Chain A
């Protein structure tokens, strides 16, 4: 158990819908990262927050957005869902935003878009 929690574990929805994925980082970690894992693309970085502020953006679609709240939990919002958005979404956390700091991953949310 990494100490990172994610809810829900599974999510099944229809095209065009909007969903919210939630992540709580390890106790004491200030930085949160979101990754998407699909069979053809592998594990892809989406976005990073550090202490409530956006720090780095990867291949995140405009239909996706995220935020980190004052209690440091983070939410990833996915809207106008398409079939191709079906994937595993992982949250990771680290103590600091870079440097010598390992990222610890949560168990993931499996999103299925029908």
Chain B
């Protein structure tokens, strides 16, 4: 069974204090690892897709990396508006088609 574990569950940062969020996964034939941002009461907002170990993607203050067992979301010099829940998800191969298996998320709070 596909599994995704995110850590920490919650992270509090001061504005400008860089950090990383972790996503560990167990999946049969990884077909993609996805990062989403979710604000309270809203739908997940797509951030990145990573397909193979060693791949990296960047967007503003966010950078996602992928190894064979885990992914990291690095946040550089965060601002209060980066506060949100960050979700990691995997897509497996075989007959799973497009199904995404999500982790429980990391709640990020950035204080000014």
Contact = CB atoms under 8 A, between A and B. Distances in A.
Contacts of B34: 102-103
A24 interface: no
Given A42-B103, A100-B32, A2 B95 contact: no
Interface stretch (A11-19, A73-81, A104-112): A104-112
Contacts of B105: 42
Contacts of A56: 95-99
Interface string A12-48: 0000000000000000000101010000001111001
A103 B47 CA distance: 11
B45 A43 contact: no
A70 B100 CA distance: 24
A45 B43 contact: no
- Size bracket, chain A contacts: 20 to 34
A55 B98 contact: yes
Given A100-B51, A103-B46, A94 B98 contact: yes
A97 B91 CA distance: 11
Contacts, number: 71
Interface class of chain A by DSSP: strand
Contacts of B103: 42
Contact of A100 (B42, B45, B46, B49): B49
A2 B45 contact: yes
A101 B100 CA distance: 12
A84 interface: no
Given A100-B32, A100-B51, A102-B49, A45 B44 contact: no
A99 B104 CA distance: 24
B31 interface: yes
B99 A48 contact: yes
B41 A110 contact: yes
A98 B49 contact: no
Contacts of A35: 100
